[in-house]
Structure 1
Amino acid sequence: MFRTSSHLPLPLKVLFTAFLAVMVPVYWYNYGPSNFLYFCDISLLLCLISVWTEKALPASMAAVGILLPQVLWCADFVGELLGVRLLGMTSYMFDENRSLFLRGLSFFHGWLPFLLVYLVRRLGYDKRAIWAWTGVAWALCLVAYFFLPPAGAVMPDPKIPVNINYVFGFDDAAPQTWLPAPVYLVFWMLALLVVAYLPTHFVLRKWSARRPAQPAPMQLVVAGMQEGH
């Protein structure tokens, strides 16, 4: 029996695509289009590209960008469940003004890190990801700072996001005051690179180097022919 050269199973591709087919219109209706400028939502799109093209770069970019932040999201959520407020980044998950279905969709923050690790394991890690993602992330920060509602902005619908990607501080209710806003923005962008992206890049590069080499497609065909005898 012949084997295909696909690295990813079809059920994964279908299920992930089906999830996005539900999530995107629901989020668009409830949160508005600006919500898709969050790092995590951009990462979902990159994952979709990698899932179907089986190219390593999009998944590698997403992994560099959000593995560490998503771990913090999970820790913050567990803290909220236990009544301990850590960062407040998951407070919206306990907002009764949002439907359980809407909040349930946000649980992708919990399983997305595992999907990214799986994709990098299967497709490999592209070392260009660190600079490709940093460029995307910094561009998103600049767009959020100059064109989107700041922290503390009063929106006609409270579900519409403000302070996207924390470019005005960690509190959505009010901008930070310990630094001038432009200085904080530069500091934040550099901190993302130094504290989050570079360490993740080095870990993924080292881990991926230990990944067992994948057989070339021709080797798979030959192996399949040999099994057929």
Structure 2
Amino acid sequence: MPLWFRLAYLGLAVALVPVYAIHYPWVNFFWFSNLALLGGLVAAWTSSSRLVSALLVCVGLLELGWIVDFLGGLVLMGQAPFGMVDYMFDPEIPLLVRALSLYHLVLPFALWWMVWRLGYDARAWRWLVPAGWGVVLITRLTVDEGQNVNWVLSMPWLEPGRIHEGLWLLLLMLGLGIAWWVTHRLVLWFMQRHE
């Protein structure tokens, strides 16, 4: 990875981590996007194809959902269509915190670019699934009421408690597994076509 990229990435992490640590509870760092941001920094400095491949599979499609929701919220003047990014339009959250959260706009493309440079490790998908499901379970065990990290309590548009907690966790893990498999297949297809 070029030095300029690694230094810019490091600068973002150095700016973001202390601000998030002050403003949010520590469990906020368990969001897949935050884990991917910090994992991507490690991958950039170690040139780890397997790590960046797993991170891209983990958040590639999910981050595109964040981007669509955010852009929809801009168009609809603060009313995010899916409710995933409502916090970005909340004046109670400091502007600096919201500005740093704009990393979501760049993260999937930075991961794609890193995979394109380092190569895609197709085995990363098999490594990611148990690790990702482990993050979901750890998150569920550590969140307090109202901390819906990785949607372990419900989706933003779904009333909490509407689905039994155990069934919801199972459906969430199944949905994430499907999203990760689809992302893996898309990345594999793209990389094979552009070799």
> What's 2:175 paired with?
191
Change (3 A) 1:69 1:180: same
Change (3 A) 1:211 1:29: same
The answer to whether structure 1 residue 98 and structure 2 residue 93 are counterparts is yes
How many angstroms apart in 1 are the aligned matches of 2:175 and 2:42?
A: 27
Query: Quick check: 1:120–1:208 contact (8 Å CA) kept in 2?
Result: no
Query: Quick check: 2:74–2:80 contact (8 Å CA) kept in 1?
Result: no
How many angstroms apart in 2 are the aligned matches of 1:139 and 1:126?
A: 21
Q: Of 52, 55, 59, which aligns to 1:62?
A: 55
How many angstroms apart in 1 are the aligned matches of 2:157 and 2:50?
A: 32
- Number of aligned residue pairs: 193
> What's 1:81 paired with?
74
> What's 2:188 paired with?
205
Per-residue deviation, residues 94-119 of structure 1 (Å, max 9, x unmatched)? 11111211100000000011101100
How many angstroms apart in 2 are the aligned matches of 1:80 and 1:9?
A: 34
- Shift of residue 174, structure 1, vs aligned partner: 4.9
Query: Quick check: 1:56–1:126 contact (8 Å CA) kept in 2?
Result: yes
Query: Quick check: 2:27–2:142 contact (8 Å CA) kept in 1?
Result: no
| One-letter code aligned to 1:203 | L
How many angstroms apart in 2 are the aligned matches of 1:188 and 1:165?
A: 9
Q: Of 1, 9, 19, which aligns to 2:12?
A: 19
> What's 1:142 paired with?
137
Using structure 1 for the length normalisation, give the TM-score: 0.80
The answer to whether structure 1 residue 169 and structure 2 residue 154 are counterparts is yes
- SS of the equivalent of 1:107 reads helix
- Name the structure where helix makes up a greater proportion of residues: 2
How many angstroms apart in 2 are the aligned matches of 1:176 and 1:124?
A: 43
- Shift of residue 173, structure 1, vs aligned partner: 9.2
The answer to whether structure 1 residue 111 and structure 2 residue 95 are counterparts is no
Aligned-pair Cα RMSD in Å: 1.6
Using structure 2 for the length normalisation, give the TM-score: 0.93
Listed as ranges, the gaps of 5+ residues in structure 1 are: 1-7, 154-161, 213-229
Question: Percent identity over the alignment?
Answer: 31
How many angstroms apart in 2 are the aligned matches of 1:209 and 1:130?
A: 16
How many angstroms apart in 2 are the aligned matches of 1:101 and 1:147?
A: 27
Change (3 A) 1:86 1:172: closer
How many angstroms apart in 2 are the aligned matches of 1:77 and 1:102?
A: 15
- Shift of residue 12, structure 1, vs aligned partner: 0.3
